[in-house]
Structure 1
Amino acid sequence: MAYLGQDMFSDAARKLRNYPLIMAFDIGTNLSRVSYASRQDFKDIHDITSWPKSSIQFQGVPTLSLYKKGSSDIVGWGYAARVAMLKSTAKYFCLLHGFKLQLDETEQEPLENGISALEAFTHYLKEIHEYAMGEIIRGTAKNFQPAHFQYVLTVPASWSDATKNKMRDAAISAGLIEKGDPPSRLILITELEAAALYCERRCDQLDLGHGDRFMVCEASRGAVDLAVFEIAITATDRRLSEVTNGHGASCGSDFIDKHMRRHLEEKFGHHAANFPDNLIPNLVDTFADAIKPQFDGLEDQFLLLPANRCFEDLEDPEAIGIDDGYLVLTAVELKEHVFEPVVKDVLSLIQEQLTQAGHCAAIFLVGGFGSSTYLYNRVKAQFSSQISLVSIPPRPELAVVRGAVYAGLNLYYGK
């Protein structure tokens, strides 16, 4: 059972006066985020939104690393790595991704260029830290130095203690901390615990108090993880305890995209073999960006088709659902073929947690997939008779990284 609150960190809080700033990293399998706050103004959390080689403001950067072939020296990361692989010189480089998934494997196969997953993680952490540090000091923390930062790093709950311990070595190698620093300068917190701290900040507004339990369903692109937490309030502090065995499964929103691709291939039938290689993948990307997040299960959707002669060869476009340059996707077919195969798995995970917990007052949906309108509607419909509140907190995609900042603030303030 884990406890989150002032007691979690013991007397270490008194040693942190020299670290007035907190920087939190959520290094995800596909996307990474950085948030920070000052202890002086702990109610205001900032997010890094500007990234190298990106023309848009976004609270995340791809977890990608670029290396020259035959070299173990990183030469690019994030959007810059992605852009480099679109150039004619891409053949001279290799792009590493998904290395976080291998960190907890007992036997690790070397990645391309003979780099280990831990080395790739360390290289990426070093790059994103140096960039974020520069952005913060140039921006809202002009009077501070790198030595003034305390760090929080999120890790999957499923990781072994041995793998979690490696993260401290990685942080030293990446330049976040030094060997002689107090152990409390770097906090390791599970992604679910961090999300719970973020959600708990909403509890005052939602009438959840001492003894109440709430579930956190952290739904991302690859996986869905869940646990139930109980609130304990004493005369001196407020804390959370994890009361169920957190668990999860690979049923994130990426699997909705996979079902969508299969559905498109079935709709176009044998004609799909004559399509350009990138046509259906691009349609799936458009679906993921424009339709998937706001789909409510009630309204038909319209997917804009690219101007391409391959559609002229279709025997009966209307039978497929093509109308005036759009592919009409009915709400019924999207539910049956695309969303439900994944959402049913999430509902089963939630039911397992409720069975373990015995009672639960609320369910918080967080993460990128957690903001899905369809997922929210299905969870509410399925469990409204058992749970009085199903909620998507503000900025659910930032719940883990902002909750990690709260973990650092709790260390000193016990908030």
Structure 2
Amino acid sequence: MSWRSDIRVVVAIDFGTTYSGFAYAHKQNPEIITNDVWPEVIGTIKTNTVLQYDEKYKNVQEWGYPALAKRPQRKGRSKNVVYKPVELFKLHLGDIPESEKRPLPKGLDYKKAITDYLREMGTLEVRWPGLDFLNHVLMVLTVPAEYSEKSKGILRECAYNAGLIGNLKSEKLQFSTEPEAAAIHCMRVLKEYFATTEGKSFLIVDAGGGTVDLTTRRFITGDQLGEVTERTGDFCGSAYVDREFLKLMKRHIGDQTMNILEEQHYGQLQYMVQEFCRRVKLLFTGNPEEFKIFELDLEEVCPVVKQYVTGSYKEKLEDDEWIIELDFESVKAMFDPIIGRIIRLISGQLNAGGECSVMFLVGGFSESKYLQSRIRQEFASRIKDIAVPKQPQAAIVRGALDYGLKMDTIKTRVLKYTYGIEVQNLHGMFDPPERKVDGKYIFKFHKLVERGQEVGVDEAFGESFKPLEHTTSLRFTVYFTKEKKGTYCDELGMSLLGEIIVDMPDTYLGKERPVDFRLMFGRMEITAIAKNQLTGHEYKSTFKLEL
């Protein structure tokens, strides 16, 4: 019996850089229920991806919004003396410069933080009476488009340690890229635009807190989607607007004061940031006629700052009665560098994907009226319809849930990497002499499937291989690269994915012991199958990812 026949409930988790959420549905009654009850917050679709630990960073004391921002006390010294919360730890999974990753407290590993957060979220998931959670629940976890196989392997490890799956290789945990999940959610909306959708292409721009991911999809037939271009993404979400706000604040209070707030009064600092988001960032439209100068009252949102500001900074703030005015140009300047990067990402997708009928903007940042207007201004001549679905912040988790309920929705994907194996050949006349092994052999990269190739669900790529005459096993070591081709497995840009070892004890047959080796890209995780064609013995999914 297939493991799918045992699934009764599907749970989708949108584990985001700054905000996270989940939704669930029963397979017999697939009404999508998006969670909106969080610690100290009711009615919001997501909560903050933040943890508050004890002194030794061993036990979680608070998570979500209450772990991040603390409303300041108006009288006397701040009573919000707590250990600095841990946030933006998901960035450690991404292939970005170390300078872009938030340093973690000494003694805390980012894998532990991810595991602890998933465990806390798991405590909110609905359990049905008599339901064996690990055996009858399918988990779908979303990941950014640019995540590597290594990053997905680490997330799987964390989900296992958090108790969300019963074993490390469980098929009851599936991955969906964030733009892929958004595409599934938007698929139904697209039918409102056209009488027939077959062959129509549409671009998904998922603008979240930390990342912005893009994918171009097309309808194949019915409710099935194909991928037109490689998924792309970058770290230019709404959290980077918050960073620009903090840079502006530093110019008003000084580097030293800002450092003290970050180290000793982070709750008040984040309360100030959240007030900026709620009263300025979310309301900013980019229209100067609609803008009113906002007065940020430091005595109200961050009173502890008065204890530390010195010199000319203090004199200026005292003259201004501790009020910082945010005018139109200063707020606009916080958005423009980030939006510029998003526009360049969209241009790249459109240039690669050809004709596009509709562009959908999803994710929390897509609720920004200024982002919407800039995108429409830039691309209205190329795309007739630029739409923002209802509750765009929930598009990812709802699409991921749809994917789990009907996993054949995605029919094709475009590969982001070239995949192949290391093979041992006879050393040729034109091969580098320094690469000769045992006097006559050379190891080379043998390509099986190329980056940019559109592959079907469960479509296999590979061929038959033969061992050396006296070997008792055949090792298939899989490598991947962003280049279209490769020559050697130790060259720059080549990465190890994993390996399968096939037992071949019948050495008396010499080389005539063929093994069929295939890679399958039907799901977000790669499946490798090696079959001894003489014995019929099959080795499947035995990759050991370099975690």
Name the TM tier (shorter chain). Answer: 0.7 to 0.9
**Structure with a larger share of its residues in strand:** 2
**Residue equivalent to 1:223:** 211
| Matches for 1:215-294 after TM superposition, within 5 Å | 215-233=203-221, 237-262=222-247, 285-294=274-283
- 2:89 is the alignment partner of 1:99: yes
Instruction: Kindly indicate whether residue 52 of structure 2 is the aligned counterpart of residue 66 of structure 1.
Output: yes
Structure with the higher fraction of residues in helix conformation: 1
Cα distance, 1:192 vs structure 2: 1.4
- What SS is found at the alignment partner of 1:58? coil
Q: 2:199 aligns with which of 211, 228, 243?
A: 211
Residue of structure 2 equivalent to 1:367: 363
Cα displacement string for residues 109-144 of structure 1 (whole angstroms, at most 9, x for unaligned residues): 994353322222122212211x222xx23xxx5574
Go from structure 1 to structure 2 and tell me whether the alpha carbon gap of 1:341 and 1:107 turns closer, same or farther (over 3 Å shift): closer
Query: The residue matched to 1:16 in structure 2 has which SS?
Result: helix
Q: What does the per-residue CA deviation read over 1:190-245, in whole Å, with 9 as the maximum and x for residues that have no partner?
A: 11111111111211112161111111111122222212112110xxx532222212
Measured at CA, do residues 257 and 171 of structure 1 come closer, stay the same or move farther in structure 2, by a change above 3 Å? closer
Pairs within 5 Å for 1:92-131: 93=83, 95-104=85-94, 111-129=104-122, 131=123
> Shift of residue 71 of structure 1?
5.3
The residue number in structure 1 matching 2:292 is 301
**Distance change (3 Å), C-alpha of 1:350 and 1:181:** closer
SS in 2 for 1:397: helix
Supply the AA of the counterpart residue of 1:363: M
Query: Deviation of residue 162 (structure 1)?
Result: 2.4
Matched, 1:389 2:385: yes
Distance, in Å, in 1 between the alignment partners of 2:344 and 2:112 is: 37
Aligned partner of 1:398 among 394, 398, 404: 394
* CA distance, structure 2, for counterparts of residue 30 and residue 411 of structure 1: 28
Residue 260 of structure 1: how far off its partner (Å)? 4.0
Structure showing greater Rg: 2
| 1:343 and 2:330 are equivalent in the alignment | no
Contact 1:34/1:132 (<8 A) preserved: no
Q: For 1:188 and 1:64, locate their aligned partners in 2 and report how far apart those are by CA, in whole Å.
A: 22
Which string of whole-angstrom CA distances, capped at 9 and with x for unpartnered residues, describes residues 325-358 of structure 1? 894734x6644x2332322221121111110011
1:354 and 2:350 aligned: yes
Q: Determine the structure 1 residue equivalent to 2:481.
A: none
In 2, Cα distance between equivalents of 1:96 and 1:328: 28
- Corresponding letter in the other structure for 2:239: D
Which one-letter code corresponds to 1:291 in the other structure? V
Post-superposition shift, 1:45?
1.2
Q: Alignment partner of 1:241: what SS? A: strand
Tell me the equivalent position of 2:173.
186
Higher mean alpha-carbon deviation, 165-174 vs 281-290, is at 281-290
Residues paired across the two proteins, number: 380
The answer to whether the 8 Å contact 1:24/1:151 transfers is yes
Q: Report the counterpart of residue 202 of structure 1 in structure 2.
A: 189
AA aligned to 1:380 is R
Q: Does 1:132 align with 2:124?
A: yes
TM-score, normalization by structure 2: 0.60
CA distance in 2, matches of 1:74, 1:264: 30
Query: Under a length normalisation based on structure 1, what TM-score does the superposition of the two structures give?
Result: 0.78
Distance 1:259 1:117, change over 3 A: closer
Counting aligned pairs with the same residue, the percent is: 29
* Cα displacement (A) at 1:383: 1.0
Structure 2 counterpart SS, 1:45: strand
The whole-number CA distance in structure 2 between the counterparts of 1:351 and 1:372 is 20
Q: From the superposition, tell whether residues 80 and 382 of structure 1 become closer, same or farther in structure 2 (CA, over 3 Å).
A: closer
Match of 1:41 in 2: 29
Q: Pick from 144, 153, 172: which aligns with 1:165?
A: 153
- What root-mean-square deviation, in Å, do the aligned CA atoms of Structure 1 and Structure 2 show? 4.0
Write the deviation string for residues 86-117 of structure 1: whole angstroms up to 9, x where unpaired.
Answer: 996956x5633222211356999994353322
Aligned partners of 1:126, 1:30: CA distance in 2, in Å?
17
For 1:205, what is the secondary structure of its paired residue? coil
Q: 1:76 to 1:253 in 2, by over 3 A?
A: closer
Residues 33 and 180 of structure 1: is their aligned pair in 2 closer, same or farther, counting only changes over 3 Å? closer
Q: Is contact 2:156–2:168 with CA below 8 Å preserved after alignment?
A: no
For 2:142, the equivalent position in structure 1 comes to 154
* C-alpha distance in 1 between matches for 2:70 and 2:291: 38
Aligned to 1:177: 165
Q: Give the distance between the partners of 2:153 and 2:270, measured in 1 at CA.
A: 39
Partner Cα distance (2:51, 2:271) in 1: 23
Structure 1: 5+ residue runs without aligned partners? 1-11
Change (3 A) 1:312 1:162: closer
For the residue of structure 2 that corresponds to 1:152, the secondary structure is strand
For CA contacts below 8 A with separation 6 or more, give which structure has more relative contact order. 1
Partner of 2:536: none
Amino acid at match of 2:371: L
Measure, in 2, the Cα distance between the counterparts of 1:281 and 1:411. 40
Q: Which amino acid aligns with 1:364?
A: F
